Amino acid sequence: MAFKIITWNINSVRLRIGIVERLLKEQQPDVLCLQETKCVNDAFPRKSFEKLGYAHNAVHGQKGYHGVAIISKSPLSQTSSTDFCNMGDTRHIEAVVETPGGPVRIHNFYVPAGGDEPDPIINSKFDHKLKFIDGMKALSGVQDGVPNILVGDLNIAPLENDVWSHKQLLKIVSHTPVETQGLTMVMNAGDWVDCMRQHIPPSEKLYTWWSYRARDWEASNRGRRLDHVWSAPQLAQQLVSVDVLKEARGWEKPSDHVPVIAVFDL
């Protein structure tokens, strides 16, 4: 049976609850993972999700910043979060969901953006980002016998065709060698599979984010692939499709990120 999971940096779940509801009605995923929810747990709009059949959630939020959430049609268990750099921010949530093929653990991440200057000595935000990535190396694709899916806004475009210009962005935060190499090390250490690039060849351009600064984001098409779906190798073998819902960038009050939809035959 099909298991559909969607990841989306929504950039304020309460401000954009209308397009979140639209996504759920149109796509009917089993699980939706959101980043940058930007609200405390008590303010999370649970009733809006419950009305659409998503009665189960794992939420880790804070006022005005960051925040991650897993919304599910099926019950969630073993919910926890990790503060990778002991900064007190809300950038990770995990939970186990029952699927047609058995339990699957879902990790939902919002990795620090890293500021503007790619130098950890003079930029504490970039230093935070590199340390956060280093902490992610402890994650494995399989934990206690349960296969994992890792999704979220990782704020790194690792491959040449994950950005509109590899040459021009080599010194721009999100595509610098120290970041891309660090993310590759996380993937290798945990034996993760990049599901998006398994389904869509690395030779093809692939973006999930277009800046608000662009007057016409679609015409300029200066995007980056900042949002990711990884999985344990055994789940990657059951991957059916991956789609980037580019049209959502043009919805009313859009996020600068768009949903990424992955379907597994479990």
Q: What is the DSSP string of 79-104?
A: EE---TTS-----EEEEEEEETTEEE
Provide the residue type at 85 as one letter: C
Residue 254 has pLDDT above 90, yes or no: yes
| Containing structural domain, residue 31 | 2-265
Q: What is the mean pLDDT of residues 244-253?
A: 97
Phi-psi group of 114: left, alpha or beta (phi > 0 → left; psi -120 to 50 → alpha; rest → beta):
left
97-115 burial, b at 16+ Cβ within 10 Å, e below that, comes to: bebeeeebbbbbbbbbbbb
Instruction: Check if the beta carbon of residue 11 is closer than 8 Å to that of residue 257.
Output: yes
Residue 215 has pLDDT above 90, yes or no: no
Tens of pLDDT along 163-191? 999 999 999 999 999 999 999 999 999 99
Instruction: Give the C-alpha separation, 129 to 155, whole Å.
Output: 9
Say which residues have a Cβ less than 8 Å from residue 113's Cβ, sequence separation at least 6. Answer: 125, 129, 155, 173, 174
Instruction: Check if the beta carbon of residue 154 is closer than 8 Å to that of residue 196.
Output: no
Average per-residue pLDDT for the chain: 97
Give me 134's structure tokens: 């280093």
pTM above 0.85, yes or no: yes
Q: What is the DSSP string of 202-213?
A: TTS---SEE-TT
Instruction: Give the C-alpha separation, 40 to 67, whole Å.
Output: 8
Q: Where do the H-state alpha helices sit in 136-242? A: 166-169, 177-190, 195-199, 217-220, 233-236
Structural domain tally of the chain? 1
Tens of pLDDT along 14-57? 999 999 999 999 999 999 999 999 999 999 999 999 999 999 99
Tens of pLDDT along 63-105? 999 999 999 999 999 999 999 999 999 999 999 999 989 999 9
Provide the residue type at 131 as one letter: K
Q: What is the DSSP string of 13-35?
A: TTTTHHHHHHHHHHH--SEEEEE
Q: What is the mean pLDDT of residues 218-239?
A: 97
Cα separation values, 237 from 7, 58, 103, 191, 231, Å: 20, 27, 16, 14, 10
**199: closest CA among 111, 119, 265?**
265
Give the CATH number for residue 129: 3.60.10.10
Q: Which long-range contacts (CB under 8 A, 24 or more apart) does 51-55 make?
A: 52/21, 52/24, 52/25, 54/24
